[in-house]
Structures are given as structure tokens and as C-alpha cells.
Amino acid sequence: MEMGGPVRNLVSLVLAALLVLAAAGAARALRVGAMDHFLATQRYEDVYYLPPAHWLPVLSLGHDEALADLLWMRALIYFGDELGHQGLVRHVFDYADAILALDPDFRKAYRWVGMAGMYHAGEITVDDLRRSVSYLERGARRFPDDGEMAWDCGASLAFELAPRVTDEAEKRELRARGVEHMQTAARLGAGPDWLVLTNATQLRRLGRTEQAIRHLEEMYATVRDPDTKAEIGRQLVAARGEAWTRAFEQAQRELEERRSADYPYMSTTLYLLVGPRRLVTGDPLRPEEPDLNALVGESETPLPEETAPPD
């Protein structure tokens, strides 16, 4: 019996659909097999494919920051692969140079390379530490108001690089540079609570006792941790005497009371910059006319009063 046209068309559609499904299943099986083969034949290689860093601003065709973002993502993947394979991250500085050549204001790159070049598998040499610290110092110079950058830089100089150096003069110089950055970090509210006390200890070891005391005095008002504040007070008593310290603490309490009354939402550091609240008298939208004679001064001849023109 011969099938009619509609039935024949329906059968053709069903067969076509079955063929498409079979082809899709076969293609998927082939694709999965091909991917498994590709992954199985891949091997780990520590290869850097980029041209020299000073070429990149030309090759970016004006899209420096966009290319820097792409390289940043590639650098993070590279560092993760190196950690997973216990690699030596030999090209981490090359990636940092490439990113910073394109975008010298890439703040995270400075701190990242400072960490990545200093902590990795295998032997960490003094040259690794020196180069890592050099990026952190560059970042601290470029971002002088970044407390976290200052803390990373100072801690790396004082606690990572200086202990590995054998020359005593260089060791002392590195610690001096480190404590300068850590003082900046403390002033900007970065670093741990004990940073102020560590700074004072480092300054005393460098023979800068008076500078250590001034740093404790400077930071007393801004420290919030009660234990740290109490220890600062004890060290100031030992250095300056009890009477002087009690007067200093009273002055700090009065400052804190004024700050709480004037601007309770401000930090003490900002309040010291802004100053106490000033009362506004009169209508601020309709200021009084200035007294010109007062501006001229009492010793000067008074300005003539306005007179009506003669008739």
C-alpha cells in the first residue's frame, strides 16, 4: 500500500531527526575523545611567550591598560600553574615588567610580584628577595599614601631581606629603610596592632632612641588597641618620666573628647588636619558687609563717608 504525501513527509522528518541526533552523538563522542587525547598529551612547560617589555606599549596600539589586564590574568594563571607543579616561577618578574611597562599605575601588580617573587617552591635566593623588594619600593614611591604597600615593603626589607644579608653594614641599612616604610604604614593605619611597638624597638636598635620616642608619642592618639596603647604608655613612662607621661595622656584624652564632640565620625588623624568645629554666627547665606576701615587698619586714614552730591 502506497503511503500518502503527508505520511511520507512525516516519516522523512523523523528519519532526518534521528540522523541528526545520531550525528550529534557521534560528534560529541569524537570531541570528548579528542579532548581527552589532547589533555593526555599535554606536558608542563615553564615557557614565556611575550616579547621584551619595552616593545609592548607599541604593540598594544594604544590599548595599554587593556593589554595590561590581559597579561595580569595570564600572570595569575602562570603563577597558579607553577605552584601546582612546584615550579620556580622563573618568569614572574618578566610578567611584572610587562604589566608595569603598559600600566605603571597598576597598583596590585607591585604587591603581587613582591609576594610571588619571594615565596615559591625551590630555593629562594637573596637575589630573588632583592628583586622582589625593588618592586615594592617602586610601588611605595609611586603610591606614598598606600599604607598596605608601605607595610609590605617595610616588612620585606626588615624581616625577609635583612636577615639573609651577611654584611652588617648592609643589614643595618636595610633595616633602617624598612622601619621608615613601617612608620609610614603605622601613620596610615595599616599593618598589625603591634607595628608601632615594633617600629620603636627597631629604631632603638638603630640607635635612634629619640626618634623612637617621638614615634610612640605620635601614634598614641591613633592606636585603638587598648593593650598596645597601654604598652606605649609604659614605654613613654620609662623614657620621659611618669609626670610628663601623665600630662601627655591627659592632653590626648582631651583631644579625644574634643574630637568626639566635634566630629565623632572622623578618625583622630583626620580631626588633627581639619581642626575643631567653628561656630557660624549670623546668616551664612547673607554675610555681613565687611568693615572696610577695619580692613585698612586703625593706623590708616579712614575712608571718607559717602555724601550726597551738591544740589
Which pLDDT score is estimated for 1? 47
pTM as predicted: 0.66
HSE toward the beta carbon, residue 12, CA cutoff 13 A: 7
Q: What is the pLDDT of residues 257-295, one digit of tens each?
A: 888 888 888 877 777 777 787 765 555 555 555 554 554
- Per-residue pLDDT, averaged over 19-43, amounts to 69
Tell me the one-letter amino acid at 270: L
How many structural domains does the chain have? 2
Specify if 189 maps to a domain.
no
Which residue among 274, 289, 305 closes a domain? Answer: 274
Specify if 147 maps to a domain.
no
Render the burial of 182-201: b for 16+ CB within 10 Å, e for the rest.
bbbbbbbebbeeebbbbbbe
Specify if 289 maps to a domain.
no
Specify if 220 maps to a domain.
yes
Render the burial of 128-160: b for 16+ CB within 10 Å, e for the rest.
bbebbbebbbbbbeebeebbbbbbbbbbbbbeb
Specify if 222 maps to a domain.
yes
Specify if 119 maps to a domain.
no
Q: How far is the C-alpha of 193 from the C-alpha of 225, rounded, in Å?
A: 7
Q: How far is the C-alpha of 184 from the C-alpha of 204, rounded, in Å?
A: 17
Could you tell me how far CA 83 lies from the centroid of its own chain? 24
Cβ 64 vs Cβ 103: under 8 Å: yes
Q: How far is the C-alpha of 291 from the C-alpha of 286, rounded, in Å?
A: 15
- Per-residue pLDDT, averaged over 59-85, amounts to 90
Q: Which domain holds residue 64?
A: 48-106
pLDDT at 178 over 70: yes
Q: What is the pLDDT of residues 190-217, one digit of tens each?
A: 988 889 999 999 999 888 888 998 898 8
Which of 138-147, 149-158, 185-194 is predicted least confidently? Answer: 185-194
- Report the length, in residues, of the chain: 311
Cβ 139 vs Cβ 111: under 8 Å: yes
How would residue 183 be classed by pLDDT, with cut points 50, 70 and 90? very high
User: Considering Cα of 102, then 105, then 111, then 112, what sign does the dihedral take?
Assistant: negative
How would residue 174 be classed by pLDDT, with cut points 50, 70 and 90? very high
Q: What is the pLDDT of residues 86-120, one digit of tens each?
A: 777 889 999 999 999 999 999 999 999 999 999 88
Tell which residue, 188, 161, 190, has the closest CA to residue 175.
161
Specify if 226 maps to a domain.
yes
Specify if 229 maps to a domain.
yes
pLDDT at 41 over 70: no
Which residue among 59, 75, 106 closes a domain? Answer: 106
Cell of 177: 629603610
Helix boundaries (H) for the chain: 5-41, 56-59, 64-84, 92-102, 107-116, 126-142, 147-155, 168-187, 195-205, 209-220, 226-240, 242-262, 268-274, 292-296
Cβ 205 vs Cβ 172: under 8 Å: no
Which pLDDT score is estimated for 12? 73
pLDDT at 184 over 70: yes
